[in-house]
Structure 1
Amino acid sequence: MTENRSRANIFIEQNRFSYIDILRGIGIFFVVLGHIYYNDVAYRWIYSFHMPLFFFAAGWVYKEKPIRDDIKKRLQTIVRPYFCFGMATILYWQLFEKSFRSADISFIQAIEGLVSGMYEHLSFNVHLWFLPCFFIVTVLFNALVRIGKKYRYDLSFPVILCMSAIYIFVGLPSLPWGIDKAFGYILFYKIGSFFSLSKADKRLQAHSISYQRVCIVFLLTMSFFFSYCSINQGIMWYVTAMLGIVSAWIFSVLLHKNRILEYLGKISLVILCVHGPVYRILIKVVSILLCWSTDAVRENFILSLLLTVLTLALCGICFQIIKRFFPWCIGRQRKKAVV
């Protein structure tokens, strides 16, 4: 009886996480589209929520761990991929892209940038900034929860509010490993954790499908309006971001199952790390075939959409190759052959 109940709980938990994978899949789709498509309105809307979404999703699946165990796991699943993909793209940059990209940095400067984890020093693969920042957020949040539990007081809430206030009202200089950005993004992690603990998904599912659809349309409209009018500074950055995040979250819960988006969500870390070189090569190839400038290709929505889909497909192939031959790069162990 206990075993059946345990299996049922695991099944329910997997179903809950399936739409978090869908949410991540939606997020990584917009990350790639936002990097390919040249359009100011689309840029402002996508950038208003696409990165906070990943912190929210990670907060949703957060589980408390001993601080040492958590750091060990995060080093394996975040820091190791950061340096592996960082070194791979530095070599690619030096051998191929450096000759036709505007940024001119030496091999040593690229290594220094990788070690610093600072956005402005990662021009060889600027998208990597997310990983060190994400590491800081996850480790700090778990430490706050553990320390607070020891003293029977929720430290995470007041500390994170103070960090957010500093980020909004005081501002911070650029710091190594995205520590300055962590001050802003950690609140989304906390909100995701709160949504999960309060069973927000169950409360949402208690409402009709029509109600959920109306919520999606309303929140998306407000999200687009705020970003279009540039009402996304200071505290409104959090409001605008949450409008986009919650609309995507409701859509994920409503959709519930989608193999493609779930798969993209599960491999979103690899996509984030490798999609830059992939889409730049594709854009160049298409521009040559059509005899268009690369800017003209990127200003065309249909072409940008097709390039986004193709980029994601190629990143999926990259993931399979990495999983098969270099699993340690993404924090996995090579499967031992059964004798």
Structure 2
Amino acid sequence: MSSNRIKWIDTCKGIGIILVIIGHTPIDPTARSIIYAFHMPLFFFISGYFFSEDRYKNLKEITISKFKSLMIPYISFSIISVFLLRFFFDQPIALRVFLEQMIISKRNSISYDDPIWFLTSLFTIEILFYLLAKLSKNINIRLLIVLLIGLVASIGLKVLAGGNILPWSLDQSLYYLIYFGLGYYIKRINFFENNKQKSYVIFLNSILFLLLIPFQEVYYRFWNLLSLPSSLFSFIDAIIWAVLGISLVIFVSQFLSYVSWLNFLGKNSLIFMSLHIPLGFNFYNTFIRGKLGIEITNLNLFGISVALCTIIILIPTSIIINRYFPFILGRNLNQMSVLKIKEKGL
């Protein structure tokens, strides 16, 4: 059962990272809006699903653990991305600008590799949720609190409009805390212990999501009848789309969990998230599109082709990083320290 759980989770992450990559290509705005409705909530949901405050004795322990697993990759991929820009575009490295953007880590303001805002945001969310778990043992109260925090952030900081992006994308963290908390809640009530392929909730949510896409006008006409304040409506609407989209990915993953390359993408989603723009896109534009003179005739087909080439480029990259440079991912750090001590003869 544990093996099956890991497989469907990896498949979800594999589907999710494909959507992330496609969403960053010049696809049709309507297609992008659909992808953006749930692809990042999906990753925060999965992170919350695996979270357990019982693994850590105190705040110091979880901070050190999450620094290794999230902040070391953040710093590592930041440095790698800057040198990749130097390689592809022969740009001088502006050290002050690089350090400023890396330290502040504001979404849409990390010029060398914007997607890695996710890592600092998730680091913040993990710490916040740990503190929340220590304040209240009741999982229902925790879920209510994260919903209230997300609502306040959505209205007060205009998160959904991207109006007030804070350092470390804290505004986004306060909103995405909802999906992290929801994933945690779903795991704690054992919602997925039954056969997910036959779950009526997941199935109906998936169907509803697919129906909403062509019938959005009818959907929004219904909401207009309620005359809700625009900020409250935007908040509820975003959660509905995200939950339904997450349900669809979970449902589909049950039938695709045997696809090994999807599982591979899921297991290495951190690498694909961090390098698909600075390495994948830049390699494609420089050595494939640039050399062949490929013209854009259909946005969606072009986006899918760019995503496919990027995935092919990053597969061997992922294998190399895992095999020879795991410290980039915050792994085997203790082993490295032991090796250094032995080399010094201490």
TM-score, scaled relative to structure 2: 0.81
Q: Please say if residues 45 and 227 of structure 1, whose CA atoms lie closer than 8 Å, have aligned partners that are also in contact.
A: no
> Residue deviations 1:211-236, cap 9 Å, x none?
96665333223256549988983321
Give the aligned partner of residue 222 of structure 1. Answer: 212
Work out the CA distance in 1 between the residues paired with 2:97 and 2:217: 35
Give the aligned partner of residue 238 of structure 2. Answer: 237
Give the aligned partner of residue 81 of structure 1. Answer: 73
**Alignment match of 1:156 (pick from 134, 142, 147):** 142
- The alpha-carbon distance between structure 1 residues 309 and 61, as it changes in their structure 2 partners (threshold 3 A), is same
Is 2:193 the partner of 1:202? yes
- The alpha-carbon distance between structure 1 residues 288 and 60, as it changes in their structure 2 partners (threshold 3 A), is same
Unaligned runs of 5+ in 2: 159-163, 224-232, 337-346
Identity in percent = 23
Which aligned pairs between 1:127-146 and structure 2 lie closer than 5 A? 127-146=115-134
Work out the CA distance in 2 between the residues paired with 1:153 and 1:229: 32
Q: Which has the larger displacement, 56-65 or 129-138?
A: 56-65
Secondary structure at the counterpart of residue 3 of structure 2? helix
Give the aligned partner of residue 226 of structure 2. Answer: none
Post-superposition offset of 1:206: 7.5
Give the aligned partner of residue 311 of structure 1. Answer: 310
Which aligned pairs between 1:30-109 and structure 2 lie closer than 5 A? 30-64=19-53, 65-66=55-56, 67-97=59-89, 106-109=94-97
**Alignment match of 2:287 (pick from 285, 288, 307):** 285
Give the aligned partner of residue 2 of structure 2. Answer: 13
Give the aligned partner of residue 9 of structure 1. Answer: none
Work out the CA distance in 1 between the residues paired with 2:89 and 2:199: 51
Secondary structure at the counterpart of residue 24 of structure 2? helix
Q: Which has the larger displacement, 59-68 or 214-223?
A: 214-223
Is 2:105 the partner of 1:117? yes
Work out the CA distance in 1 between the residues paired with 2:144 and 2:289: 51
> Residue deviations 1:273-311, cap 9 Å, x none?
111021232134343344344xx16x4433432331221
Give the aligned partner of residue 7 of structure 1. Answer: none
Give the aligned partner of residue 193 of structure 1. Answer: 184
- The alpha-carbon distance between structure 1 residues 258 and 180, as it changes in their structure 2 partners (threshold 3 A), is same
- The alpha-carbon distance between structure 1 residues 225 and 248, as it changes in their structure 2 partners (threshold 3 A), is farther
Work out the CA distance in 2 between the residues paired with 1:268 and 1:129: 14
Q: Please say if residues 48 and 184 of structure 2, whose CA atoms lie closer than 8 Å, have aligned partners that are also in contact.
A: yes
Work out the CA distance in 1 between the residues paired with 2:117 and 2:239: 20
Secondary structure at the counterpart of residue 119 of structure 1? coil
Q: Please say if residues 148 and 154 of structure 1, whose CA atoms lie closer than 8 Å, have aligned partners that are also in contact.
A: no
In the alignment of these two chains, the number of paired residues is 315
Work out the CA distance in 1 between the residues paired with 2:60 and 2:327: 20
> Residue deviations 1:133-177, cap 9 Å, x none?
01111121122113324xx78663343122111122212632211
Give the aligned partner of residue 250 of structure 2. Answer: 249
Quote the RMSD (CA, aligned, Å): 3.0
TM-score, scaled relative to structure 1: 0.82
Secondary structure at the counterpart of residue 62 of structure 1? coil
Work out the CA distance in 2 between the residues paired with 1:181 and 1:228: 29
Letter of the 2:181 partner, please give it.
K
Secondary structure at the counterpart of residue 269 of structure 1? helix
Work out the CA distance in 2 between the residues paired with 1:248 and 1:313: 22
Work out the CA distance in 2 between the residues paired with 1:134 and 1:228: 35
Work out the CA distance in 2 between the residues paired with 1:79 and 1:228: 44
Work out the CA distance in 2 between the residues paired with 1:227 and 1:83: 44
Work out the CA distance in 1 between the residues paired with 2:274 and 2:267: 14
